[in-house]
Structure 1
């Protein structure tokens, strides 16, 4: 049983469900340590006063928010807690919405909710009701010292709490140079749309997370094991194939040709008949260049 972050309750209307909050994700990245290359000693971190360059102790550090240039408002931990007097152990549902109403960009971090204090039946009632109605709950919750907007989602036998990013935390796309919305405005032809749709249909499948893994991490860990066992260097293989890496030449992308290649690759088909004349022309040009070169040598 993992250690719970806190114990409290889900609250909506008159319903009160006692639950414990558990982390549902974990970091699986490679932990690179900083080392002194001369001695392989670990390199640590110091708290440095940026103006004087001197190290300071933890006891002399306070929390402050810049108000004006070189002027801060300092807040103690108690003042921060008192600023939000509402209990921090309640997941208060404010509305039930369709899951499709929440853009993926708002999803942040998942947590498990487990029933406690004989709350199993009402826990199951909320889970089954959400599944039947195809809705999820939108709630507010305070985790540590930060308030989050969150989605309460039924997943298998569990209720999960997925924190959401606030609208102010999402960068707008106004400054990006994006193609115009709509197929016609973006200059897409019916043929391109049809082929793209066919390619999507051919590649459609049910999502199985077990089929995916961090290939970069696996490659680096394999390299580390090889060096540890044999003491020799070994090159990490690139994840990109030659076909994906691209090359020089024109920057103009023939969308139809790319779709055609993708469809043929997925269907295991041979070269497209339409490409044969182009191939013949390329062969003729190559032969002509060889003949010219031979004449010059003669």
Structure 2
């Protein structure tokens, strides 16, 4: 069954317009979900909004949005007032300019979507855009109204098509100084740096998402299954991390462990392919004849 599109419109590059659709690329819908129950009856409970002062329930029609300007002082915004200022969607992803794929910091990435042609008639124009961007190793910045908000979208070519990622606004991304400002500037040189580079080199690999399992989700699945079958599960405790006393010794130990592991992981085929050592014949010392 074909997935349902989250949005349909046009991808516009200059005067070229291509009908496209957005599909969710990452979702948490397959995670285990829990309901809140009444422990005494086993029935589900539901939320009811109540007046903070009187404690009486407030029906949906009597609920309204409010912006707090000072303590207990609110500006009331009616639904039609909010709707009136929301930008109207023209259903067009209008490319403003192209840039290199790595020019935008990942902290601005919000949600990824697959951007695919909306119908068969769009295939040629879509492939033209994809191949052009691949050839130039370019990404595109476009803007449109998505889900009632004007959003900036980064469009990148992938192996199969285009990936559209909504971007966080500048005011949503916190300054890195809050996290890094107190880190002192240090110069790391010599053996310490060499060991660090060696360890990094021995850990080189490629990203394979199938190798990263969601252990929390797996644990929940097993717990639910065990409870349904009337079994008990042994509580697992995480191993306590070892305290690093000497940074240099820790680096040397890590490098030594990596070197030993690398030797053990050599394929047996390579060992078999080695030419066996050939023993040289013993050299006899000639006996001098008596004169």
TM range, normalised to the smaller chain? 0.7 to 0.9
In 2, are the aligned partners of 1:6 and 1:20 still within 8 Å (CA)?
yes
Match for residue 40 of structure 2?
38
Residues 76 and 111 (structure 1), Cα distance of their counterparts in 2 relative to 1, 3 Å cut = farther
Structure 1: which 5+ residue stretches go unaligned?
271-298
Q: Distance in 2 between the 1:236 and 1:11 partners?
A: 56
With a CA cutoff of 8 Å and minimum separation of 6, indicate the structure with the bigger relative contact order.
2
Structure 2: which 5+ residue stretches go unaligned?
263-291
Aligned residues: 258
Tell me the TM-score normalized by structure 1.
0.78
Match for residue 177 of structure 2?
174
Q: Distance in 2 between the 1:145 and 1:197 partners?
A: 48
Match for residue 283 of structure 1?
none
Tell me the TM-score normalized by structure 2.
0.79
* Residue in structure 2 matching 1:59, options 58, 61, 81: 61
Residues 262 and 4 (structure 1), Cα distance of their counterparts in 2 relative to 1, 3 Å cut = same
In 2, are the aligned partners of 1:112 and 1:161 still within 8 Å (CA)?
yes
Q: Distance in 2 between the 1:96 and 1:253 partners?
A: 50
Q: Distance in 2 between the 1:66 and 1:13 partners?
A: 44
**Residue 136 of structure 1: CA displacement?**
0.8
Superposed CA offset, 1:120-149 (max 9, x none):
111111111111111111122322122222
Match for residue 277 of structure 1?
none
Aligned-pair Cα RMSD in Å: 2.3
Larger radius of gyration: 2
Matched ranges for 1:1-298 at <5 A:
1-27=2-28, 28-117=30-119, 118-176=121-179, 178-180=182-184, 185-229=185-229, 231-238=230-237, 240=238, 242=239, 245-246=240-241, 253-268=245-260
Aligned-partner SS, 1:140: strand
Q: Distance in 2 between the 1:187 and 1:218 partners?
A: 43
Aligned-partner SS, 1:199: helix
Deviation beyond 4 Å, 4+ runs, structure 1: none
Superposed CA offset, 1:95-127 (max 9, x none):
211221111211111111221241111111111
**Residue 68 of structure 1: CA displacement?**
4.0
